[in-house]
Structure 1
C-alpha cells in the first residue's frame, strides 16, 4: 500500500532542464552544538549511490552551513542523530532552515542492519536568491506546498485503504477532484507531475484499476526517473514484475532462460516491453534494472548471468544515463561475488593506524565481523587466536568490531590475550551495509591477490580451518 510521503524517493529528484551554479543551507540550532550532519545527494534510483556526500560538525553555537554544488534542482538529504531529513533545493538559492530537536542515535541502532531513520522534511524558514538577494518566506517555498499536499494525500489514502479493507467502495475520483481543486492553480511542471503520480497511487490502492491503465494514465508517457513521485509510483506498480510474470505463463520461463542461458538483454527487454503496461523501451530497461537488483539475491537466477546482462546494458543503454545506472548497479552487486574485489575498507586499529585491504595482500585474509558481547562471536574468538598462532605465515585475521566504546574494546582484547588485528567500524559505519552484515558473526575469505574467495566464508566453529587447507591443497600451496 502506498501511504508514505516523499521520504526516500525524494532523494532521486533532479531535472536536466534547469541550469545553475550552487546553493547553500544554513541553520542555528543550539542543541546541535558539536553534532555531525551528513549532507548527501543520491544519484541512482536503484541503489544507494551518492554524487555528493560531506559531513560537517556544528560549531559551539549549533551553527551549520553547507555549500552544495547544484547544476539542477535536487532533493538533498541531511543525516544526523536519528533523523533522515530531506529538502528540495534549487541552484542559485540560499536556504535558511530549522532542524528538529536533536535525538542521538543509540549504539544498538547504529549497528542494527534493520534500523530505519526517522524520515521527515526539513523546515524552511526562508529562501533567498543568491543573484538578486530577493527573499521569500518559507511558507511560500515549494517544500511547504508539497508538505501541505502530502498531508491531505495521506488522509485521502487512509480513507481509501480503510474502505478497501472493509469491503466498501469509495469514490476515489471524487477525492482526487477535491485535492486538485485545492492545488490546481499551481501549474509548475514538477508539482503538476507530482500530483498526477500521487493520484495514481490513490487509484492503485483503490484496487479497481488494472496495471496497464495505471501505468499509461498516471505513470506515462515519459520516464522521469529523476522525479520522486514517478519513482515511488513506478516501484509500487512494477515491484516483483518478473516474479509475477514467471508465475502467470510462459513469459517467466522464457525470461529465466534468456538470463541464465543466453544472457540476451535485448530479447529480455523486448519480452518486458511486450507487456501492455510497458509503454517504452526506456521503461522496460528501468524495470530490468529494478528487478536485477532484487533477483540477484534469489536462487533461481545465476549471479554471473545477471552481471553479464548488466554489463551489456551498461555498454548498450537506451540512454547514456541508464548506462551509468547499469554500470553502478553492476559494481555494487559484484562487490561480494567470489572472484571480484570486495568493498573498500579504511578503518583504524586500536593504536589509531589506518588500514585498507590492500595492506594485507600477499596472504589469505579472513575478514570477520563481530562484537564484544554477542555469544555467537565469543564462541568464535578462541579459534581466531589459534589461527594467529598457527597460520600467521599465510593467513591474516582481521576483525571489524562494532564495540560501543573503543576503550572497552582495547580492554577486551588485552584481558583475553587476543592478538589479531582489530579495526573499529566507527570510522566507516557504512562498511556493515557494504558487506551485508545482517547478523553476527559473519566472515569473508579474501585471496592473496585481494579477490573474494569465499563469500561468505565458513565460520571457525563450522570448519573454516579445514576448508582453508582444502583450498591451499587444491592450489598446491601445501
Structure 2
C-alpha cells in the first residue's frame, strides 16, 4: 500500500512538473546555411556563463531546419553563427520561424584571437506580432539606446542639467501599457542600471531598492547584468568594514560557509538569505581569478555551500563554478575533447589513459609552430617510449592539416579542432603554441607546460620522478 501510494504521488509530481514545461519549436528557411549544423544554447547560469545546449539541427539542402526543446520560463537563447552571436528570447509553448543574418564566417585571425567579441544579432521572427516579446524588447532597446546616447555626454560631465528620472519617464511612457512580466522586469532593471551608471543611485541604494526584497530573476538578462555590476568585488568592499575583515579568515582559515554567511549577514544589505548565497557564489567565482585567497580553501567553502543550499539554481551555479575554475588546475582533469585525426578517426584523451601526454595547441601555418614541430620531432624520437605528443591544430580544414602532416612526415599525433571548435576556448588558448602535460591518470601535471625550447624534458622528468615512473 505504501509502495502504491509512493507511485501515485510520484506520478502526479511528474505530471505537475511536465505540465509546467512548455515546448519551444524553432523553424526556418535559410538556404545560405545549407549543410550547416545549428546549435541553440542558453546560459546554465549568468555568473559563470556556462553554455548549455538546448537543441540542434542540420540545415537541409533546401535551407529548411527545425528543432525543439522544453522550458518552463522565458529564457535567453543564442547561437554562434560565424562572426555573430545571434540571440532570441523565447517563451514556453511557442513556435518561432526564425530570420537569420547573411552568413559570415570568422576569419583565421578571428578564430585565433582569444579576445574576439562576436557581433550581437537579434534574430528576426517571421511569425511575430506587435505584442510578441522580441518585438517589444527590440523596440524598447532601440528607444533606450537612443535616450542613453543623447545623454551620454551630460552623464560623463555630471551636468546639473541632467535628470535621470525625467529621461527614464520619457521612455517608460511609451511602454506603460505592456503587461508582459518578463518585459516589465527587463525594463525595470535596465532603468535601474541607467540610474546606477548615471550616479543617480549608488550600489548600496540599488541593492536595497531592487535586490534585497525582490525575487531573484536568474534568467532575466537585465536583472543579472545589473547584479554582476552592483556586487562586483563585494568581498573587497565589505572586507574594508570592521566586521568585514572576518570574511578572509572565514574562508582562508576556518573554511566555513556558516561563518561566512554569519559575517555577511551582519550587514543589512544581505539580510535576504537567497541573495546572500547568490552574492557569495559570485564573489567566490571572481576571487578565484584574483589569487587573494587560497583556492583550495575557496573550493571547500564552495562545496559546503553546494551541499547545504536548498536552492536548486545555487547548486547548479556552484557546480559550474567548480568545473570552470578547476578545469585547468594541476591535479584536475582537463576539458574533455574528441577530435578527428588526419585519417578522420575520432580520438579522445581517454585513449591515452595510462600514458603521459604532452598536449600542444598550434596552427600549421604559424611560423612559431612550424619551428617547434621540428623540435617536437626530435623530442618524440628521444622520448616516445615515455610520453605521447599530441597536437591540436586550428587549420582551415582537415585536408589542409592532413596535407601538411604528410608532406612533413611528422611521427606524432595531430588532431583537427573543427568538430569541437570551442576546445581552444576551453583550454584558454591565448597564443600559439601553448602546451599542457597530462599524467597517466588523465589529470593535469603541468598547466601550462613549458615549450620544447624551454627544456620541457627537465620538467616532465620531474613529474615522472615524483610519480615513481623513472
Q: What TM-score comes out, normalization by structure 1 length?
A: 0.88
SS at match of 1:438: coil
Q: Which runs of 5+ in 1 are unaligned?
A: 1-15, 127-136
| Structure 1 residues 158 and 430: alpha-carbon distance in aligned structure 2, compared to 1, 3 A threshold | same
Match of 2:12 in 1: none
2-side partners of 1:138 and 1:125: how far apart? 9
User: 2:445, 2:463 within 8 Å by CA — same for their partners in 1?
Assistant: no
1-side partners of 2:94 and 2:469: how far apart? 63
2-side partners of 1:477 and 1:194: how far apart? 58
Between 51-60 and 449-458, report the one with greater CA deviation: 51-60
| Structure 1 residues 154 and 444: alpha-carbon distance in aligned structure 2, compared to 1, 3 A threshold | same
Match of 1:224 in 2: 217
Deviations 1:184-227 (A, max 9, x none): 11133222222211111111011132222111223342222222
Q: Which runs of 5+ in 2 are unaligned?
A: 1-16
Deviations 1:395-422 (A, max 9, x none): 0111111122333322322333321100
Between 191-200 and 468-477, report the one with greater CA deviation: 468-477
User: 2:96, 2:125 within 8 Å by CA — same for their partners in 1?
Assistant: yes
Match of 1:177 in 2: 169
Between 353-362 and 75-84, report the one with greater CA deviation: 75-84
SS at match of 2:216: coil
SS at match of 1:139: coil
2-side partners of 1:275 and 1:22: how far apart? 43
Is 1:344 the counterpart of 2:336 in the alignment? yes
Between 339-348 and 26-35, report the one with greater CA deviation: 26-35
Match of 2:423 in 1: 431
Match of 1:78 in 2: 79
Matches within 5 A, 1:351-390: 351-390=343-382
SS at match of 1:140: coil
| Structure 1 residues 208 and 107: alpha-carbon distance in aligned structure 2, compared to 1, 3 A threshold | same
| Structure 1 residues 111 and 68: alpha-carbon distance in aligned structure 2, compared to 1, 3 A threshold | farther
Matches within 5 A, 1:235-314: 235-246=228-239, 248-249=240-241, 253-314=245-306
User: 1:160, 1:206 within 8 Å by CA — same for their partners in 2?
Assistant: no
Question: Aligned residues, how many?
Answer: 452
User: 2:83, 2:119 within 8 Å by CA — same for their partners in 1?
Assistant: yes
1-side partners of 2:264 and 2:175: how far apart? 36
Match of 1:152 in 2: 143
Deviations 1:79-112 (A, max 9, x none): 2222212122222221122112222222222232
| Structure 1 residues 64 and 426: alpha-carbon distance in aligned structure 2, compared to 1, 3 A threshold | same
User: 2:168, 2:191 within 8 Å by CA — same for their partners in 1?
Assistant: yes
Match of 2:324 in 1: 332
Residue number among 126, 142, 149 corresponding to 2:133 in the alignment: 142
Q: Please tell me the root mean square deviation across aligned C-alpha atoms, in Å.
A: 2.2
| Structure 1 residues 406 and 83: alpha-carbon distance in aligned structure 2, compared to 1, 3 A threshold | same
Quote how far apart the aligned CAs of 1:277 are.
Answer: 3.5
Q: What TM-score comes out, normalization by structure 2 length?
A: 0.90
